[in-house]
Amino acid sequence: MANAYQTLGEFIIDNQEDFKYSTGELSRLLSSIRLATKVVNQQVNKNGLVEDILGDVGEDNVQGEAQKKLDVFANDTFIKALTQREVVCGIASEENEFFIPVESKANSHLSKYVVLIDPLDGSSNADVNVTVGTIFSIYRRVTPDGTPVTIEDFLQPGNKQVAAGYVVYGLSTMLVYTTGNGVNGFTLDPSLGIFYLSHPNMTFPKDGNIYSINEGNYVHFPQGVKDYLKYCQKSEGDRPYTSRYIGSLVSDFHRNMLKGGIYIYPSGTNHKYGKLRLLYECNPMAYICEQAGGKATDGYQRIMDIDPCELHQRVPFFCGSENMVNKVEEMMAEYPDDKIDYVDLKEKVMNQAK
């Protein structure tokens, strides 16, 4: 039974038996993430006070985006925390082109888990003191224990996740995660450096009145999305809905889960298949969304059933309150030609790689 004074560490231990692969290793992995989160939080809170943590590094990451100094710091911090405790056999980061094999000093390659991470979601907001976050996803490896990890260990559909979570670095710092038994949120007490259970059993309302989308890209949106936005803005019944868009997936998702709403990043923007990465952003947030009673799709099909074809694959993303996602899917269905054929896409990627 959850209580208001339960710490994250106590919660992980108390609920370890709910996880069918329980060996203690996943608990140590989550503890590593907790430690890295506190280090990153400390640095984020110095934003504006410490000059050398602001601004761009002067280089682009693998995504072609300008790297922020906080991006690099967060990436290094999480990789260091996960490798030093020898709890994972591989790490993939949005900031790195290739995955990172992790060898245990005592038992090489024996760890069972791989982690995929977006170390600092919404980092373009950091220099203007707007909320940023971290997103992580955990899978059991599919290659044999004791062997080096391969790309197959990372290219798993989201329905194979064993845990996922995010961190919000805002007015207060919150860590929200699931291991497939509901969603729970923990708030950091900065005076003690301890996360306490503050939001047990988090759920999406079935309906909401908030829609989150960058409407500046409207002219490039698929027609189904345009139709849905017109629906949201029409004065009828409980509409018009309220438009709220921060530009940080973690922040927009977190607000919508608490208040009821839908987040949309469709195709047809500057990126053919949308901006968000399937493995680092969409899959973990979809897992959390579904565990909280919400729904996550690409406008036509469940996000977590998509078979990934590459490490930094991008997909359209619609997630939030179930009835709102159902409505936009209903409108998207009127334009079946906009549906992405992921089987065909994977074949093309594999042929290009030969």
| Residues flagged as binding site for Mg(2+) | 94, 118, 120-121, 281
Around Cβ 104, how many Cβ atoms within 10 Å?
15
Does residue 179 contact residue 333 with C-beta atoms inside 8 Å? no
Q: Output the CA torsion 82→38→252→125 (10° steps).
A: -100
Sequence ranges of the binding site: 94, 118, 120-124, 214, 245, 275, 281
> Which run of H or of E encompasses 167?
strand 161-169
Asked whether the beta carbons of 102 and 90 are under 8 A apart, the reply is yes
Scored b (16 or more CB within 10 A) or e, 167-178 reads bbbbeebbbbbb
Token pair in block for residue 226:
């345009």
| Count of C-beta atoms within a 10 Å radius of residue 108 | 14
Residues annotated within the binding site for substrate are 121-124, 214, 245, 275
The DSSP element (H or E) to which 327 belongs, if any, is helix 322-332
